[in-house]
């Protein structure tokens, strides 16, 4: 009996010792209340900025139902020659200092067919198509630096950036099914379907018998620098809504415009063309006319 009791006591001692050596499960720490440091971006964070104007207009119209709701005019661009920004990014080198990059790039091409009577056929229901093709492109890129200071969720922003970009030329090209010939010196041609640009180059004289073949509007190249002043309010961790104002200077060069017309030359009995060009132009903007602004959503990660 004593042996049994002794053996049981020994086994119990071993089990207790083993239990004391076994690692206990880690206890979950009590939740720490969210602090301002958890809400604001810090050194090493990246930021993504998107325009909020369209979304806010939609929500306002949705709630207003019968009325159009617009953002405050002071957040709208007052000068359309300022950089058009679609997306912007930031990188924080310090808790209150960030480098900025913003950009916009676009290309659009449209083709439209216009129905016209076929001059080579007597059937009044015989048709062919004139074609109008339109394309445009452009880009903007801006680089800068910003600093910030504020109190809790409300942060003020100030800084500067340089920018460059092109407001792309608009190119129109027209192809006609009914051709000029000695037998058909005034072929049937459709209207260009709303694509015709009111060019500054004018119409050749005499205009009778001429038809437009192509138009190339001027492109504007912009380069400049601007100061930035704005604010952000953090409605959630690493997410904010903000507004920015800009003031600066901008130099622009405006390229030539041209239009080309075709006609039937009764002397040479051939199809000739005539091209008219405008001159290059320049522009310089400085001061309050460059005041613009944006309303945006910001995400940091």
Domain ranges of the chain: 39-300
CB 245 within 8 A of CB 260: no
**Does the structure show a pLDDT above 90 at 294?**
no
Instruction: Give mean pLDDT, residues 3-10.
Output: 48
Q: Quote the CA–CA distance of 46 and 16 in Å, as a whole number.
A: 53
Alpha helices in the chain (DSSP H): 2-21, 36-39, 53-64
Q: Residue 28 is encoded by which pair of tokens?
A: 């979950």
Q: What is the pLDDT of residues 221-233, one digit of tens each?
A: 889 898 989 999 9
Q: Closest Cα to residue 140, out of 107, 169, 164?
A: 164
CB 75 within 8 A of CB 293: yes
Q: What is the pLDDT of residues 43-93, one digit of tens each?
A: 999 999 887 655 555 444 544 544 444 443 333 333 444 556 668 899 999
Q: Quote the CA–CA distance of 164 and 179 in Å, as a whole number.
A: 44
Instruction: Give mean pLDDT, residues 227-243.
Output: 93
What is the percent of the chain where pLDDT is above 70?
Answer: 67
Beta bridge partners of 46: 91
pTM of the model: 0.66
Q: Quote the CA–CA distance of 148 and 93 in Å, as a whole number.
A: 12
CB 214 within 8 A of CB 171: yes
Q: Quote the CA–CA distance of 82 and 295 in Å, as a whole number.
A: 15
E strand spans, the chain: 46-51, 87-94, 97-117, 127-151, 154-167, 170-175, 211-216, 220-236, 239-254, 258-265, 270-277, 281-300
Q: How many residues does the chain have?
A: 301
What is the percent of the chain where pLDDT is above 90?
Answer: 24
Banded pLDDT at 203 (limits 50, 70, 90) = low
């Amino acid at each position: 009996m004593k042996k049994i009791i002794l053996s049981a006591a020994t086994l119990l001692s071993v089990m207790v010792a083993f239990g004391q050596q076994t690692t206990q499960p880690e206890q979950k720490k009590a939740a720490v209340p969210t602090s301002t440091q958890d809400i604001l971006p810090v050194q090493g964070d990246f930021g993504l900025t998107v325009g909020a104007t369209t979304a806010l207009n939609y929500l306002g119209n949705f709630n207003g139902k019968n009325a159009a709701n617009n953002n405050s005019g002071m957040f709208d661009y007052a000068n359309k020659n300022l950089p058009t920004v679609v997306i912007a990014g930031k990188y924080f080198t310090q808790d209150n200092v960030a480098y900025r990059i913003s950009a916009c790039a676009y290309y659009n091409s449209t083709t439209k067919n216009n129905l016209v009577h076929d001059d080579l056929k007597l059937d009044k229901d015989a048709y062919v198509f004139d074609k109008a093709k339109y394309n445009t492109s452009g880009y903007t890129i801006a680089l800068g630096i910003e600093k910030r200071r504020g109190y809790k969720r409300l942060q003020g922003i100030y800084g500067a950036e340089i920018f460059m970009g092109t407001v792309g030329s608009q190119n129109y090209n027209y192809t006609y099914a009914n051709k000029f010939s000695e037998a058909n010196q005034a072929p049937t041609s459709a209207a260009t379907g709303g694509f015709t640009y009111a060019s500054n180059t004018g119409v050749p004289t005499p205009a009778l018998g001429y038809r437009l073949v192509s138009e190339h509007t001027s492109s504007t190249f912009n380069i400049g620098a601007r100061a930035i002043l704005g604010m952000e309010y953090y409605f959630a961790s690493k997410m904010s809504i903000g507004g920015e104002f800009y003031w600066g200077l901008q130099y622009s060069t405006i390229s030539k415009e041209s239009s080309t017309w075709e006609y039937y030359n009764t002397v040479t009995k051939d199809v000739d063309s005539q091209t008219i060009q405008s001159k290059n132009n320049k522009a310089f903007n400085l001061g309050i006319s460059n005041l613009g602004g944006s309303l945006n959503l910001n995400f940091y990660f």
